[in-house]
Structure 1
């Protein structure tokens, strides 16, 4: 479970401020997959970073209960000169899980084959995403943070990724940022829509999607001043 208590976050660029969180208070509950929707630039990735603890709010607090993943699929922390296997083993040691078990899981799931034993700098962006998703979902967390990751790969790999995500949700929670509304329908229990610095929370998925679609037909609200 994650609680946001009066969270505020504003950026200033070229003399203009943009508020992406304006006194947001919300609880992401246990054993629930919440899809976070919003127009481009609404602050969805910023929200995910604050939940992960990699970005601090300007004010308010984020309270995390239980273990929480880094943003699933994030490949930026891989060392480019290490192989996929070496990166996997390093992450396993950091999180205190069995290195062989995680390596075997990632090798099988990612379908990287011989590339798993080559330096990550030689990977395509899709290969990095497969490695990142496998490593992320191979470690059990109470809450997973997800950013568009199940969109990676061909149809077969997408289906496998969604199946693994569903399996993890039997025991865990998730906060998933995505633009894929069909994915939200299939995978999420609740919906949160970020708009104009406010987070609108819906326990009915279709109601949340409808609210988001209505927003997309309106001009974006003013959230900053010069």
Structure 2
């Protein structure tokens, strides 16, 4: 009992027993937050306590409460990639805030031991949130701060994909304008009149852009699939991001 974390362990056992108490799930575990706060106040480095409480609260639909404890865990246990990942998942899948979800998933991807798919997921979230420029800037910062060369290579690849996605979005809009004006798709990228599309057509990135002159569809070998992720069909108004 002389160990500083003994009290935290005892309250952790109480928390686990409480979560398993019949009937509490139907009430969405109203006493879980104070128990989790007690455990993590006594032992701020108890990483799994933040994670477990955050996931249980999320499963009960209490996403704001889940994010509150996960965000505290991110501050105190920055080496645990699961904490920003689950907070990002809440923002993405439940709160409709793909931009914030992307930031947190990208943060998780830079923590040693995190899954290799996280940089791709972050890139797709930024793209689906229509914040491609923000996503590219965030990836640039992540590349410069990445100590692991393998992670740096992966982040650079995702940056190139986001640059290609941004280019395709610009070109699709320019192709649509050309079709409206002339009644047919352009024969080549050089025929596009939009200034931003012309800049792309004259850049090195144009070598990685394909235009189907018959249909007007644009694609890139850098993107076997376009950068889109699942969007919830409907986000409750009370939970919707402002």
Higher relative contact order (CA 8 A, sep 6+): 1
What is the TM-score with the length of structure 2 in the denominator? 0.28
Higher Cα radius of gyration: 2
- Structure holding more strand per residue: 1
- Structure holding more helix per residue: 2
